[in-house]
Each structure stands twice: as C-alpha cells, then as structure tokens.
A and B are shown apart, each in its own frame.
Chain A
C-alpha cells in the first residue's frame, strides 16, 4: 500500500550524515509494524551516502542525485520533498529537530497543508495514527499530539533522544529518482558552510562531558576542568549563565535551549540542576555531580554525588589520576 511508508529525511553537512538520521531510522523500524521505513536522501552526483545509511537497515533509500543539491537551500529541499510526497503519499515524515530540520519541515508542512509536531521526545503508532509526545513550557509539561485528518503526519525529533542501532541483515532497496522538477529558489544562496572551528566535535555527540555551572566558573575552575577534560578525553559543556563567559558560547550550552547530550560519563561541577538544564542530560549514562549545596536538585539526577567545593574536587581528581 502506498500510504504505509514512514519517511526519514537524511540530514547531512559537509558530506556527513547527521547522527540523528540514524537514530530516526532505528526508532522508525521499532514502531513501524508492517509499515516501510524509507530514507529520503538528496546528494550531489559524486557522493554515495546511501552506503552509510544502508548499515542502519531501512527498507528503502530514495536517492535524488543532482549537483544543484550541493548547496540547496531549505526551501528547495522542501519543494523536492513535497513533489516526492505527492507521488508516494507517505503515512508520516520524520526530521531531526535540528536547526535545518526545524526549517525545512515547517516549510514542507505549509506546502502539504498538514500538521507538524516539533521537537518530539517520543513517537508511537496507534494503528496508522502517529502519537507524538512533545514537551512545552520549557519541558515542564508534556503533550500528546496527533494529526487525525491530514496526511502525511509530520514530526521532528530531538537529537539523541533515540539510540541508533546498526542492522546489517535488512536488504535495502535503493531507488534513484532523477525526474523531479528542481524549482530554483530565488533571491537566496548559501555561499559557505563551515564547521565551527572549536566546535568541530559538538558536545551533543561526545562520549564524555564535563559540565560547568556557576559554581565552577572562575578562572581556576575552568583551567582545571580543561586539564581534566584533556586527560579524560572529554568535552566541556556549560549551563546557560556560563555562555556569557568569554571562553564559551551558546553552542556549549547544555539544556532545553542548548544541546541535548548523551555521554557515557557526565561530570557536573557547580551545576544547580534547574529543570531547563536537566532536560538536556536525561540520556547521560553515568552522572557524577559535585555541588557545595547538599540540597542542589542536580543530585537527584546523579549516580554519584559529592557535597563539596568544585575546585578542590578538580585538584584531587587531577592529582589522583596522575
């Protein structure tokens, strides 16, 4: 049946598929029942990113190859997606809730005159109806949202909410499409896309993170934390107040209006544990927190807690692992 496809938009930057794409494929397979998981990939003719995507075992990859896709704008991608959706009438379309996903998806939504739920934290099917769980009011409230009368059902999902799992047993059909009408967007051109230098490896994808809050913001704490991060192979993340610190910016921020992280190890230093922060660390595995306030809520989100001074703890840590 043509309307039983779950689409995943493959987001890529400088020739790399974004991890959220793989996370979405795995989740879509989990909830698909008998629906087909179809990845939609747009790439330049010299690329073969479908080979990477295959490892995660969708049922099909639809590839549109065209050299104009090298620097396609969001509205051009939305137009191409709309054309494909008109042909194949998918049941639903999933995007990563990234900056780009959050730009293409609503433009496409308006073209298709359907519903979109952004920044979902969970997805499930009730028959053909996609049940979308989305936080609002700064993650203080959860809503269950559905789109009963319009198709496709569209959702974007926060990166690192689901785990990507390889599946090499699935035979993957690759369908090449080269007869789409490419409507060139007028008056807009992406002239360059560059990795942010210091951030080439974002904390969102780091295995180990040392997070600094206002209780570890002075020069000494930051210097010691950087040294420890080097030793542990960790990245440094911060709470929102520290984004004003000359060394850090919004890209380093963890939490609701920053990055959602999913490291194997997270060490919080002088982080109080406001809900806007803790929503960003729900998927961290081993959480260790140091705060001088025994009542700090961060301890409720931690496997190991130490009530004490962040600088002394850092000094000891560096000394003991020598």
Chain B
C-alpha cells in the first residue's frame, strides 16, 4: 500500500490586526509576507504520519501569488515530497467556489490521489468552505472537523468528528477529503536536513493553461460573491461600574445588583 496524499495549504497574514485606511476605506496590508495557516500544519502532520505508516508521497498544493512559495517551502521542510503552486493572474480575486474548483481540477490532473487533507478553516477568511467544495467537485466523501484519524488505509478508516456538543464516529474508504482540527496532532518542526532538502526541491507552478479549467469558473469571473464594503467594527465599550473596597465588599455590592437583575 502506498498512498498519494495531497495537502491543500494557504498562506495567511502574520497578524490579524489589520487596519482600515480611514480615507480610502481599503485594508492596509503590512509589507510582511505571510505564514502558513496554522490548521494546515495539522493537516500536513496528519499526512506525514499516514505516509510513515503506509508509505507513499505527500504533495502540497496551494493557489495564490508567487510569494506563497515561502509557505510551500516551509511545508516541504516538514518532510513533504513535492509542492505545486497554482498561480496566475487569471486565478486572482477567487472566492471559495472558484478556489475549490481550481484545487479540484489540479487534484484531478495529478491523478490517482488517495486522500486530500485540508485545514478545518483558514484564519483570515475563516470560511471552512474550501474542503467541502473540493469534495463535491471530486465526488468524494467528505469528513470535516476531524480530531482523530485511525484505521487501515486500504480496508477502511475511522474518523472522530467533534461537533459543538456531540461526537461522531465515521467510517470511510479512500479516496476521500478530510479537514483537520488542531486537536488531531502536534505538528512537527522542520529538521535541518529537511530544510536543506526543501531548497533542492523544485516547486512546480501551474497556471490555467496547465489545467483543464473552464475560464468562466476561475478567478473573479468564477466567483459568485462580491465584497461590497469592509470596515473595522466599532467596539462600543460598556459603561462599567467599578466595584470598590475589599473582595468581601465588592462581592456584597455585586450581589445587590444580581438580586436586582433577578440573577439570585
């Protein structure tokens, strides 16, 4: 049994503390390039563990501008075998539907993929849509928000999926799409050897001509959603009353208020 695993990863801003330009109302992006979406590291770790157990290869896949290469190198430094960057002007402005479509077409082109892993969500867009969209386009089972993955790559695997206050056990057979929670594992650090190796490896760049894609389904054109405006939410400070004195005094004052609000 040798597995061909694809991990979809995304680069996100270093910090979520973005500002809005008060005049142009545009997002001010800092000059810093990004980091790997944290949940995607858990997805890579899951892939590497399966590779260690069953053999095979782990291929990283990312759609984005040229500087996403940095994140792909970082993933290879963790021990992944190969990386593909889907990059083209034509892919720009994609929402989740167009992103999922292009990723799925790339996975089809790779052929004979057994498992696609993604992070549970990206921490900038925060949508968690891309995984299920890729599954639909591939026509494969999807198991999202998975915290545990066990079983036999050939005979069948079992996933534990954490819902808000429930837990599901799901049995499935490959090929499938799985999105990974941070509870699943502790991502490994790159080793010096793997870091060195990663710089020897070639990152393949695919554009719309390398893939079989419908030009109306990619980039801005293929994106049904439109962002009409962005703003920084105004956080209305509550009018706070300071409780004074010793803790006993403060608690007594609080209890008076709690009784008034029928909380006691």
A200 to B133, CA, bound (A): 31
Partner of A300, one of B226, B240, B254: B240
Decide yes or no whether B209 CB sits under 8 A from chain A.
no
Q: Please give the number of chain B residues whose Cβ is less than 8 angstroms from any Cβ of chain A in the complex.
A: 81
Residue pair A190, B145 in contact (C-beta under 8 Å): no
Q: Is the interface of B mostly helix, strand, loop or mixed?
A: mixed
Residue pair B144, A191 in contact (C-beta under 8 Å): no
CB distance from A321 to the nearest CB of B (A): 7
Decide yes or no whether A5 CB sits under 8 A from chain B.
no
Decide yes or no whether B23 CB sits under 8 A from chain A.
no
Partner of A194, one of B167, B172, B174: B167
Residue pair B230, A118 in contact (C-beta under 8 Å): no
Decide yes or no whether A178 CB sits under 8 A from chain B.
no
Decide yes or no whether A137 CB sits under 8 A from chain B.
yes
A114 to B20, CA, bound (A): 29
Scan residues 150-187 of chain A and give those whose CB is less than 8 A from a CB of chain B: 150, 159, 185-187
A195 to B198, CA, bound (A): 44
Partner of A116, one of B96, B144, B233, B240: B96
Residue pair B16, A138 in contact (C-beta under 8 Å): yes
A307 to B97, CA, bound (A): 49
Residue pair B136, A107 in contact (C-beta under 8 Å): yes
Decide yes or no whether B67 CB sits under 8 A from chain A.
no
Residue pair B132, A106 in contact (C-beta under 8 Å): yes
Residue pair B241, A304 in contact (C-beta under 8 Å): yes
Segment touching A, from B57-65, B79-87, B118-126: B118-126
| 4 new A-B contacts at CB < 8 Å, known A99-B163, A137-B18, A299-B240 | A75-B136, A106-B131, A192-B168, A312-B247
Q: Give B contacts to A, CB under 8 Å.
A: 13, 16-18, 20, 27, 95-97, 100, 123-133, 135-137, 140-145, 158, 161-174, 176, 181-183, 223-233, 235, 237-243, 246-248, 250-252, 254-255, 257-258, 261, 263-264
Q: Give A contacts to B, CB under 8 Å.
A: 13-14, 73-75, 78, 98-100, 102-107, 109-111, 113-119, 131, 135-150, 159, 185-196, 199-202, 204, 208, 249-251, 257, 259, 264-265, 275, 278, 285-288, 299-309, 312-313, 315-317, 319-321
| 8 A-B pairs with least C-beta separation | A115-B224, A188-B141, A138-B16, A110-B136, A115-B225, A316-B247, A106-B129, A202-B165
